[in-house]
């Protein structure tokens, strides 16, 4: 029905994250938060936590927090794509409805005449 893509891919998300700013914060040597600031300046967060601070690993925390942020981003991008597809389908329906309305009111010849540009005659006289 529409020429828009029908899925969000990992490659699209990786490209979007590459165009974004990613920052990390650690709280209490247990919680790592990843913040992805998208090119639109919208922020998506992901978290990772350990039970005991003695198990804390900064690199693992950042890895898992970023993975969780990307999972959220995937859902948001999926919604955005679904909404774009819905709006495109609605626009096509509205266009077809308007076209049907015009067809019901005018003959094919009248429609063709309306769409054919007519040359404009300039008045003759002083230039």
| Structural domain includes residue 124 | no
The answer to whether position 122 is within a domain reads no
101 occurs within a structural domain:
yes
The count of structural domains within the chain is 1
Cα torsion 120, 121, 123, 127: sign: positive
* Residue 1 lies inside a defined structural domain of this protein: no
The whole-angstrom separation of Cα 48 and Cα 61 is 6
The strand pairing partners of 22, in sequence order, are 36
Q: Name the residue range of residue 110's domain.
A: 10-115
111 inside domain: yes
Any idea what DSSP says for residue 62?
A: H
Kindly give the confidence (pLDDT) of every residue in the chain, 127 residues in length, as a single tens digit, with 9 standing for 90 and above: 557 789 999 999 999 999 999 999 999 999 999 999 999 999 999 999 999 999 999 999 999 999 999 999 999 999 999 999 999 999 888 888 887 787 778 787 777 777 787 777 777 776 5
Phi and psi for 40 in degrees, rounded to 5?
-80, 0
Report the predicted TM-score, pTM, of the whole model to 2 decimal places: 0.73
Taking the C-alpha atoms of residue 36 and residue 16, their distance in angstroms, rounded to an integer, is: 10
Does a structural domain hold residue 120?
A: no
Q: Is residue 103 part of a domain?
A: yes
- Give the pLDDT of residue 112: 78
């Amino acid at each position: 029905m529409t020429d828009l893509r029908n899925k969000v891919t990992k490659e699209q998300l990786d490209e979007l994250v590459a165009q974004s700013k990613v920052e990390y914060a650690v709280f209490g040597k247990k919680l790592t938060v990843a913040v992805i600031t998208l090119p639109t300046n919208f922020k998506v967060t992901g978290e990772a936590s350990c039970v005991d601070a003695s198990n804390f690993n900064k690199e693992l925390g950042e890895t898992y927090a970023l993975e969780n942020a990307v999972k959220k981003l995937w859902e948001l991008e999926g919604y955005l794509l679904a909404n774009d597809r819905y709006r495109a389908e609605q626009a096509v329906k509205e266009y077809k409805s308007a076209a049907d309305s015009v067809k019901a009111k005018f003959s094919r010849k009248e429609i063709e005449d309306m769409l054919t540009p007519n040359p404009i005659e300039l008045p003759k006289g002083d230039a």
